[in-house]
A and B are shown apart, each in its own frame.
Chain A
Amino acid sequence: DAKTTQPPSMDCAEGRAANLPCNHSTISGNEYVYWYRQIHSQGPQYIIHGLKNNETNEMASLIITEDRKSSTLILPHATLRDTAVYYCIVISGTYKYIFGTGTRLKVLA
């Protein structure tokens, strides 16, 4: 079973920030949080990852709560090209990805 829980779908207006939550309440101390997205008919694309600190790169920001039981992926200025399914994955030394159902983000013009 997936170790993460995400809302099945979200809408976001173009140009606004998209905030995608993920619950990983059973995460252990050495497990990382990884985010991927899958645009229709393509393979998943890496976005960002973190352990306990907040992270930012050119694509997104990742906010991890202090207890590490949840995180939020932030796309600061969503565009129509950000419409995709977003997956939050928890991973450790087993290096195996267990994909949950993800969040289908629709960016609206």
Chain B
Amino acid sequence: SAVISQKPSRDICQRGTSLTIQCQVDSQVTMMFWYRQQPGQSLTLIATANQGSEATYESGFVIDKFPISRPNLTFSTLTVSNMSPEDSSIYLCSARPGQNSYEQYFGPGTRLTVT
């Protein structure tokens, strides 16, 4: 298993600013992911954070808006750039520890409110 922490747990930001969310895993993992959960909705995959290379984004998400870093096997960041109120959501990271299972472990999420 893996224990995942995120910082900050919540934030209130002004439109036009950017926020960087950190995700730390307590062990080395093969894959890390970032999701968005809009109010009252299910989770939507934003991107796969690749160690040592550019993230792989899902349809509807672009690097300029959501730049992602993954400098090593235990850490990743997601930046929400040039924020608008529509970016108000919970952002969650997850990790897939092993090669032989598709199981993912999720962080507690970062609740972002943009005013």
Enumerate chain A interface residues (CB-CB to B < 8 A).
Answer: 32, 34, 41-46, 49, 87, 91, 95-102
The SS class assigned to the B binding surface is strand
Enumerate chain B interface residues (CB-CB to A < 8 A).
Answer: 4, 31, 33, 42-45, 48, 58, 92, 94, 96, 102-109
Q: Are A46 and B43 in contact (CB under 8 A)?
A: no
Closest to B107 in A: A43
Q: Are B43 and A44 in contact (CB under 8 A)?
A: yes
Residues of B within 8 A of A100 (CB): 42
Closest to A95 in B: B102
- Known contacts being A42-B109, A43-B92, A95-B96, is A87 close to B104, with CB within 8 Å? no
| A45 CB, nearest partner CB in chain B, Å | 7
Q: Are B45 and A96 in contact (CB under 8 A)?
A: yes
- Known contacts being A32-B102, A34-B102, A49-B102, is A98 close to B107, with CB within 8 Å? no
- Known contacts being A43-B94, A95-B31, is A101 close to B42, with CB within 8 Å? yes
Closest to B103 in A: A46
Q: Are B44 and A99 in contact (CB under 8 A)?
A: yes
Q: Are A98 and B106 in contact (CB under 8 A)?
A: no
Residues of B within 8 A of A49 (CB): 102-103
Residues of A within 8 A of B58 (CB): 96
Selected contact of A98 from candidates B4, B45, B102, B109, CB within 8 Å: B45
Q: Are A87 and B102 in contact (CB under 8 A)?
A: no
| A69 CB, nearest partner CB in chain B, Å | 20
